Amino acid sequence: MPLRGRPKRSRPDAPSGPFKPREHVRRVLLTLLMLVLATAGCEGPTSAGSSLPRPGAAQGRAGNCTGPGADYPRTATYYLDPYRLPGVAKLARYDVVVLDSEWAHRVPRRFFRRLRAVDPGVCLFAYVNLVDRPDQLGSRGYWADRYSLWQFVDSTTSRFPRRWRATTAEGEPVSEYRRTTMANLTAHAPSVRGEIYAEYAARWVANTVWSTGLWDGIYLDVWGDRIYTADVDAWDSDRDGVDEPAAEIYGAGNPWALGLFRAERIMRHQMPKAVIVVNGDRTLRDERLDGRVWESFVDPKSGRVTKNDLEDYVTVTAGDGHRRPGVALTVNVRRAAPGSANDMRTARFRLASTLMQDGFWAPMGVHYGRLAYYRMLAPAKLGRGYLGRPLVKSPDWSALTSPFDRGVGSIRRGVFRRDFEHGIVLVNTTATRQRIELSKAYRNVHNGKVKTAVSLAPRDGVLLVRLGV
């Protein structure tokens, strides 16, 4: 029986996703020409920035995700269009930028140098998917990383070992995303040339992606304790001719978790400076990873329960399992017309909810191939990081839900407040309008009005700055 958990995500980075690869030579050449022109034409200072290691350097850059992010709000973008890359000026608006690892060989290295020159504190993550092996690819030159990882010879022929593919006992492939087959990341996967797939994949990340010297970190997609979107419950994880049920594949101490652990241990050993974040419900332990990602954060339209999402985000980010200081990302696609009242309300709610902990909010357009940006992230007269630092760093769920005191807490049930050096953030997670009296006047970042009280609609938030800021 297919799993009936979360619906399959739409990931435009995948070769078979919404952005269908059409590897005509004319389009590729045109795309690369446009990117070169974009990098040459971007405005911004060029004297700052850090030099990049030579190609093939053994290690990547040291992570700098706490640079400009020491002040709030903290922003990110999760940009996965495989054919078009925004210009430097647009990407430099964000503190964290996630791009497909393939861009390391699609654009000149000077693109990355100029991005760091415009914003020396930017943190660049290479997007990597070690789970979904595509059925076919485009040209080797355009999909070099995927050709390497999945051992493609040409667009439809791969030498990737069949024993490393997730299949049922009858040989049927297991898939969690259309036109792909899951790789067997379990610790019980057969050994090929002295290593299991989890070990091979981890070393590939270190030796192929991180070694370019272009990235601050690695973003691992589909990296959860359980793959809820797999199309079958049971499959032959150890290739013994018998299908194991999901309860014997996933879960603490079971083969999938042990395989992820082995891969994480290798990556951390070979990439000690890398910031490693994962997209999935992965349990963070032993400081192997730096943090997690919450897709469709507090978004009821995606089937998420607001309170559960917020509690999980706050609890995990405040927890002890990740490396300090930790990096958390929340990601949302736009659900309403840009600039409409509904769009602005949901944006305020998502940003304010993210600010209840120390994460980076990544607002996207209607999909991950379109950027989105809101004035509230860096108002003209305030600039980036205008809230300053939080009075209480990394609050846990108990602190957030306790009566408000000295910088963080609950104003009333479902209404939370967090104070910063230069302002405060309020979020209403309830289904009713809430009026909140303030002890003094603040300026509303969203409309510029000075008030001693605010009225918050259901599932809305507000950012307020102290007068004089």
Structure pTM? Answer: 0.88
**Alpha carbons 124 and 46: distance in angstroms, whole number:** 18
Q: Would you give the distance in Å from CA 113 to the centre of its chain?
A: 22
**464 phi/psi in degrees, rounded to 5:** -125, 140
Residue 66: what pLDDT?
56
Fill in the DSSP letter of residue 18. S
pLDDT digits (tens, 9 = 90+) for 375-416: 999 999 999 999 999 999 999 999 999 999 999 999 999 999
Return the residue matching tokens 């700055």. Answer: 465
pLDDT at residue 203 is higher than 80: yes
Q: For the residues 337-347, what does the mean pLDDT come to?
A: 97
Residue 17 pLDDT class (50, 70, 90 cuts) = very low
pLDDT at residue 187 is higher than 50: yes
Residue 64: what pLDDT?
62
Dihedral, CA atoms, 87, 90, 92, 95, nearest 10 degrees?
A: -130
Token pair, residue 73, equals 């709000």
Distances (CA, A) of 443 to 74, 275, 285, 454, 464: 20, 36, 41, 10, 5
The pLDDT mean for the chain works out to 88
Indicate the burial class of 154 (C-beta count within 10 angstroms; 0-12, 13-18, 19 or more): exposed
DSSP symbols for 186-236: STTSPPBTTB-HHHHHHHHIIIIIGGGS--SEEEEES--SS-TT-S-S-B-
Q: For the residues 205-225, what does the mean pLDDT come to?
A: 97
Residue 70: what pLDDT?
74
Q: What residue type is assigned to position 422 of the chain? A: H
pLDDT digits (tens, 9 = 90+) for 41-92: 332 222 222 222 322 333 555 556 754 457 999 999 999 999 999 999 999 9
Residue 279: what pLDDT?
96
Q: Who's near 118: CB < 8 A, 6+ residues apart?
A: 42, 44, 45, 49, 88, 89, 92
